């Protein structure tokens, strides 16, 4: 930037220039100004279990977590995270050396990438990707290499040959997300096996975002990448209380991995927030110990909501990609005679009184994402019934 005075220089640096605005702000504003039902941003419209909320109140009253908690997280929560991984997946982690509490999964992603990526390293990520991935790879000075999930019948699938071809000698890590936002794809055992074999063969690190681990609608349930052969020692697994317990504002997330990996991630994390969410950490420790009935009821509730909104969208004429996980449904708008998801989502509030998100915002290959639109179904049943009715009225004939 030689020859430019300070005031001529763009304020936002080059690494972040492409991430100037987020679609969520624009769409949420549109929802407000048009009185539309907001199925754009993915947060529940009811809070999680009352006993978990009360546990936070109690911690706050008793002065647990009101001052800086320990850097790695409060021991009660680290122990509960380790017990959860053991009980659900048979993965054993030492709560002291192999568990790190973060300010949501968002900080876990940022800290993992800032810690593990050297400028110039390539990071292979599934496209469409959660919006913070691209920004965090950029902040770490890495180069993102998207591998596009392709529509295949009623789902989006990973092309394993494309994935293998994306790995070069400069590849440092694979950034995986299963269950996958925004497509609702859950990677199969065969796909995960292939990813694991590739990581071992090319000696890659893996960061896997599994925040929707409790929202898998298939019989198989969630398969953590770290359980596959050769993976525990090279995988940073990211979880979060926000999605599982419907307290997205609490921002309690975590990382599990080997002592070396966790210690590397902690090196970055300590200079981001240092610590966060003190009293909430105690409450999440209790939430993780809720009986299986909680997790089953939560999943079944979301399954019914998936089917409710999915049916409404199909009746309205959308092609619906049936999500096997998460609380999002991706649709194809081409059967409605539309091709541009951005234009469609900008017009949708006026046309139907519903807000959705164009999947293209989650793509580098904008064309590949153009005809897809994402709806969130983590809303009260009556809200989804109303939304489905509005969509039917606006589009079905
Ligand atoms: C919501 C979400 C996150 C962020 O989780 P927080 O705990 O709220 O920071 C990360 N990854 C994916 C895929 C998500 O959908």
Is residue 244 in contact with ligand 1, taking CB distance under 6 Å? no
pLDDT, one tens digit per residue, over 174-220 is 999 999 999 999 999 999 999 999 999 999 999 999 999 999 998 87
Of 139, 148, 136, residue with least CA distance to 180: 148
**Residue 39 to residues 217, 327, 377: CA-CA distances in angstroms?**
20, 11, 7
- DSSP letters along 160-197, please? HHHHHHH--TTEEEEEEESSPTTT-----HHHHHHHHH
CA of 24 relative to ligand 1 center, distance in Å: 14
Rounded CA separation 115/268 (Å)? 6
pLDDT, one tens digit per residue, over 143-167 is 999 999 999 999 999 999 999 999 9
Is residue 245 in contact with ligand 1, taking CB distance under 6 Å? no
CA of 242 relative to ligand 1 center, distance in Å: 8
Of 370, 347, 330, 333, residue with least CA distance to 42: 330
Pairing of strands 122-127, 357-358: unpaired
Is residue 185 in contact with ligand 1, taking CB distance under 6 Å? no
* Residues 225 and 235: beta-carbon distance below 8 Å: yes
CA of 41 relative to ligand 1 center, distance in Å: 11
Structure tokens at 250: 């609490």
Is residue 242 in contact with ligand 1, taking CB distance under 6 Å? yes
CA of 108 relative to ligand 1 center, distance in Å: 10
Q: Provide CB contacts within 8 A for 194, sequence distance 6+.
A: 160, 163
- In sequence order, the β-bridge partners of residue 185 are none
Give the neighbor-by-neighbor strand order of the sheet with 372-376. Answer: 319-321, 328-332, 372-376, 357-358
Pairing of strands 235-240, 150-152: unpaired
pLDDT, one tens digit per residue, over 48-93 is 999 999 999 999 999 999 999 999 999 999 999 999 999 999 999 9
């Amino acid at each position: 930037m030689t020859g430019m005075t300070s005031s001529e220089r763009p304020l936002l640096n080059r690494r972040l220039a492409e991430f100037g605005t987020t679609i969520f702000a624009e769409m949420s504003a549109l929802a407000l100004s048009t009185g539309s039902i907001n199925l754009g941003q993915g947060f529940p419209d009811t809070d999680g279990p009352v006993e978990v909320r009360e546990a936070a109140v109690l911690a706050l009253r008793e002065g647990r977590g009101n001052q800086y908690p320990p850097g790695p997280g409060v021991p009660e929560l680290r122990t509960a995270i380790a017990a959860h991984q053991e009980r659900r997946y048979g993965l054993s982690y030492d709560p002291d050396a192999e568990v790190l509490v973060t300010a949501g999964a968002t900080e876990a992603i940022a800290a993992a990438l800032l810690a593990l990526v050297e400028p110039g390293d390539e990071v292979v990520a599934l496209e469409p990707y959660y919006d913070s991935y691209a920004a965090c790879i950029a902040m770490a000075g890495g180069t993102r290499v998207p591998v596009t999930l392709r529509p295949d019948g009623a789902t989006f699938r990973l092309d394993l040959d494309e994935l293998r071809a994306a790995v070069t000698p400069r590849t440092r890590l694979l950034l995986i997300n299963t269950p996958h936002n925004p497509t609702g794809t859950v990677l199969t055992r065969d796909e995960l096996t292939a990813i694991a074999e590739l990581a071992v063969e090319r000696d890659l690190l893996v960061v896997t975002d599994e925040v929707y681990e409790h929202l898998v609608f298939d019989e198989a349930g969630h398969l953590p990448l770290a359980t596959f052969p050769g993976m525990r020692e090279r995988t940073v697994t990211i979880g979060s209380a926000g999605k599982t317990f419907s307290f997205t504002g609490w921002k309690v997330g975590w990382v599990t991995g080997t002592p070396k990996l966790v210690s590397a991630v902690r090196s970055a994390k300590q200079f981001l927030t240092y610590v966060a969410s003190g009293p909430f950490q105690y409450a999440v420790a209790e939430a993780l110990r809720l009986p299986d009935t909680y997790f089953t009821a939560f999943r079944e509730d979301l399954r019914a909501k998936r089917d409710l909104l999915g049916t409404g969208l199909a009746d309205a004429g959308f092609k619906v990609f049936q999500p096997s996980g998460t609380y999002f449904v991706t649709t194809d708008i081409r059967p409605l005679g539309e091709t541009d998801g951005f234009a469609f989502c900008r017009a949708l509030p006026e046309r139907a009184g519903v807000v959705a998100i164009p999947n293209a915002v989650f793509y580098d290959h904008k064309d590949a994402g153009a005809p897809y639109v994402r709806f969130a179904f983590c809303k009260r049943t009556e809200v989804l019934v109303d939304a489905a009715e509005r969509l039917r009225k606006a589009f079905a004939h």
